[in-house]
Structure 1
Amino acid sequence: MLERTLYGPEHQAFRDTVRRFIDTEIAPFHAQWERDGQVPRELWRKAGAAGLLGCSIPEEYGGAGADALFNFALVEEVSAAGYTGPAFAVHNEMVMPYILAFGSEAQKQRYLPPMVRGELIGALGLTEPQAGSDLKGMRTRAERDGDSYVINGQKTFISNGQICDVLVLACKTDPGAAGGGISLFIVETNRPGFVRGKRLEKLGLKAQDTSELFFDNMRVPASALLGPEHGGFKLLMKNLAQERLTQAVRSAAVAEAALQWTIDHVKERKMFGQTLADFQNTQFKLAELKTEVTVGRVFTDHCVRQFMDGKLDGTDAAMVKLWLSELHGRVVDQCLQLFGGWGYMWEYPIARAYADARITRIAGGSIETMKSIIGKSLFKADAARS
């Protein structure tokens, strides 16, 4: 039995809180949210009141000042329960860290406390129709005009896009500059010129809203600039490692949960006078999956520890994202097979997990991009030794 030493008693107590929140505030309503295509704003306020948002945000900005393991524990518990609607990880792990790390004191005071309370919902505006993993290819422009910037362009596949109040938005401010001349802005979505497009119909993640966003001469004050002008690409590279690790944490939790659902199922499923678990093929298949899932868990926890120690680099983040994304898809596919026709029914968690799994090899940087990052690092290491 794998003993996880990364998390302590205080994290276990937090997990218990998260599980109670899931049982009372998510589980009874998630099926309806899948039909609606998004979760209600009230859920975010309840999550804030329960202490689930901004755990690692310092107390002076409304957070608990706890370590990042609390955020990872939240990702694990919601993922293991099979619920994908509440995009808390986008808010906690992708938006607030940018504001905390790179924002001015005024920006941190303005945005972080209401985000911790769930009164403001955050989204991250990076992907465009022609620019996904290739961030330098983005076309959304922000042009300086006196004390303001005027933003024009389009983003797509934006999680929390229909309900977000605050958007960390990447724009081109100097297309000819090194690194693509990208700058980051904190955008309040109630500004004139901001237009929410349609909520996109997806293969999976049915309860999590994903949207197109448009910017039509949207004017923001110069104080909305997050970090240095034209320096956004370096900031994105610093935080992408955390985003990729978060996705790996989610994948590890889902793979473990799917395996356990399947073990429980085959012990009960009768076939040819015995249970499905009695067949050697079932035992061998589950033995393989158990081994792979355990290896994935060890690697994920190792990378989490590296992150906590400030040592997780882009290459390791790419490797854990690559390996766990592939493992996630493989496990849910092979587990579904053991459910037979029932595994194809939407009412079964394994069916929803199968549909939800496919995005993991795309979001946060495609697996091909991860391979490119890892491959280039190998040759850099060779060059450093020569």
Structure 2
Amino acid sequence: MKHQQRCPGLTILFLLIFSFVRAQNNNIQVPEEVMQKVYNEVKTPYKYGLVMVPPDDGKKLDCPTIFKKGKSWYMTYIVYDGRGYETWLAKSSNLLRWKTLGKILSFADTPGWDANQKAGYNALQDMHWGGNYQLQQYDNKYWMSYLGGNTTGYEAGRLSIGMAWTDKDPAVAHEWQRTGSPVLKSTDADARWYDNGTLFKSSVIWDASKKTGHPFVMYYNARGDSANPGKAAERISMAVSDNMVDWKRYGTSPVIDHHAGISGDAIIQKIDDCYVMFYFGAFWKERKKYAAFNRFACSYDLVNWTDWTGEDLVKPSEPYDETYAHKSFVIKYKGIVYHFYCAVNSKEQRGIAVATSADKGKSNITFSK
């Protein structure tokens, strides 16, 4: 009987290819034990309470972004007053007591694509967990992406994403410059099925390793096509850039999609070799007890995300957040995790609250009666 000749070279090549593919596949899905480790690291069971509230009932606060400069902490946040969104700046020495400094993106008195909506979110922040949380400069400028529109009202009209910048101190309240036109629109020629309705909040990181082939990565939530566009799901998607001004969509699918309600407002932190996306969910079909709540997902490559399926990080539980507890910004400082979020009560009063990993007492700040 004649024996077949073996080809050890091909066998070794096959094994190498198989090992490479298996390693790549393993890197796409974050293991359950890692997800649990992340949850244990970031959970904040102690609600301190409200840290910022509107000066009067005609305004609502939303979307905190926290950064550090020198020995002080700073918060950019947005204010809705009936006309639309403006972006403001506040300062703190301890992350719990905040003082308003002034506006940084204001309404325009002249017509323009963003005349009545300017909701800004700091970009290019150091994203290492427990790091310095400073804003990084590119091209000798500090950057901010923002939601813009010219229709008055709450998230009214067709909203787009713009870029703003300053070469001045970001810790001082002053008007930031804007690039003049949107960098992403739902009417762009390359708009996808999931973002051809309207765009919402964005968050931009600096990925020096260029995992996507580009240094700057934007995560944004958008509403897309549907049999009933007004009720289409809101999903988290990606865009990339080489210069912070010219952006293009990345991929052909959302990175987070619950097929109903809202998945939005992604903020990225890096814990060890794992990227953690803090985001909020709202009005999901499978979740009926709470309207809005904060979650997270993890990734090794910034593209493929494993969704956490356990307990919410923050959910309604107090009179000041009994309607919505959502829109995260999470940091770790001196061993304590601070989870800032937007709190909405039954009167639709909207302010900024914080939950912590250690008991920091209770805030004495309340909404106006």
TM-score range for the pair, normalised by the shorter chain length: under 0.3
So what's the TM-score if we normalise by structure 1? 0.25
Which protein has greater RCO, CA pairs closer than 8 Å, 6+ apart?
Answer: 2
Q: Which structure has the highest helix share of the two?
A: 1
Structure with higher strand content: 2
TM-score normalised by structure 2 residue count: 0.25
